[in-house]
Amino acid sequence: MNYWWVNQNQTFKHEFEGGYLWSPKVSEGNRRNPFYDFMKIVRPGDVIFSFSDTRIKGFGIACSHCYTSPKPDEFGRIGTTWDDIGWRVDVNFRSFENEIRPKDHINILRNVLPVKYSPLQINGNGNQGLYLTRLTRPFAETLIGLIGTEARQLNNRIIQEKPSEIYEIELKGIDEWEDIECQKIDSLGIPETERKALIKARMGQGRFKENVFSVERHCRVTNVCNPVHLIASHIKPWRESNNEERLAAGNGLLLTPTIDHLFDRGFISFDDSGDTLISPVADSESLIKMGIDPKSPPKVGSFGPDQRFFLNHHRKAVFLK
């Protein structure tokens, strides 16, 4: 279990009440940002302290891994320079009755401040430009002690439940996003056969599967070749693709359902040379049961130019690394 600190000054009401964290994937100018990258390594069961208006307002339990999701509509004009597509983690937040102001306790907290990516400066002021950062256990435990009984009771309950027993049930952001995309397709006034092909492509079936079958003959990982047991998996996810990309043969791989799940959720990816890449947040025991040994990931063969183009997107924008 990890402890996290999230700065929510602008987005506190939306995220806290909505039950999620959301960040862009990169900073303006397409620059990597460690405080956005941290989103990719949050796991279900992790504890997240919510900081807003100079106070710790409450704490939440992560109930999903990170996944790609559009910027929430309720943000309105907040973050006008942010990209429309970012990272989301679903969180079960609850407020504290004792909202502490960390600056008032900086003489205690100063001794346990993280060396790197600290949420607080030495004088107790918050670090500007920080969104999400990981806390050391001494810092988190000191913070819990300052908040008092309610924080200690919640933390003890989480430890007893064990993070491994907290599972993600559904990804609300993805379901809402794909429903909106389907509604857009319905409103385009395109021929019925084309509309059905685009909708079926969402499930890896229909014309898209036929197109992918023209360049792929079996699952890259399991070598299953019977099309009955294969899904045409989008490399650049269906929900992020335009209509041409949704049906493009080069934007697909034939995968068995379990491998499709791992690939779609970013727990695995592939480099251009055919090596299987394993996310550090993937559950090793589950991977082994699905036929992937994290200590000896399979080589899956070379890819065509179009597939390499889309795999570059997958590694940057889907893979949880």
Tell the burial category of 194 from Cβ atoms under 10 Å away from its Cβ (0-12, 13-18, 19+). middle
Give the span between the Cα atoms of 39 and 266, in whole angstroms: 13
pLDDT value at 165 more than 60: no
- C-alpha atoms less than 13 angstroms from C-alpha of 79 in its C-beta half-sphere: 25
**pLDDT for the residue numbered 170:** 76
Tell the burial category of 259 from Cβ atoms under 10 Å away from its Cβ (0-12, 13-18, 19+). buried
Fold of 3-165: ph1033 like fold (3.10.590)
Scanning the structure block, which residue is given the tokens 């996810």? 237
Provide CB contacts within 8 A for 196, sequence distance 6+: 206
Average pLDDT (31-48) is: 94
Give the span between the Cα atoms of 92 and 102, in whole angstroms: 23
**pLDDT for the residue numbered 304:** 95
Using 50, 70 and 90 to split pLDDT, how confident is the model at 154? confident
Provide CB contacts within 8 A for 308, sequence distance 6+: 272
Give the span between the Cα atoms of 138 and 21, in whole angstroms: 24
- Ordered by start, the domain boundaries in the chain are 3-165, 191-317
**pLDDT for the residue numbered 38:** 97
Beta carbons within 10 angstroms of residue 22's beta carbon: 22
Buried b or exposed e, range 27-38, using 16+ CB within 10 angstroms: eeeeeebebbbb
Give the span between the Cα atoms of 86 and 67, in whole angstroms: 8
- Encode pLDDT of 236-290 as tens digits: 999 999 999 999 999 999 999 999 999 999 999 999 999 999 999 999 999 999 9
Beta carbons within 10 angstroms of residue 51's beta carbon: 21
Give the span between the Cα atoms of 296 and 281, in whole angstroms: 17
**pLDDT for the residue numbered 249:** 97
- Encode pLDDT of 65-90 as tens digits: 999 999 998 988 887 878 889 999 99
Please tell me whether residue 264 adopts helix, strand or coil conformation: helix
Across-strand partners of 268?
Answer: 278
Give the span between the Cα atoms of 251 and 202, in whole angstroms: 12
**What's the gap between Cα 100 and its chain centre?**
29
**pLDDT for the residue numbered 164:** 53
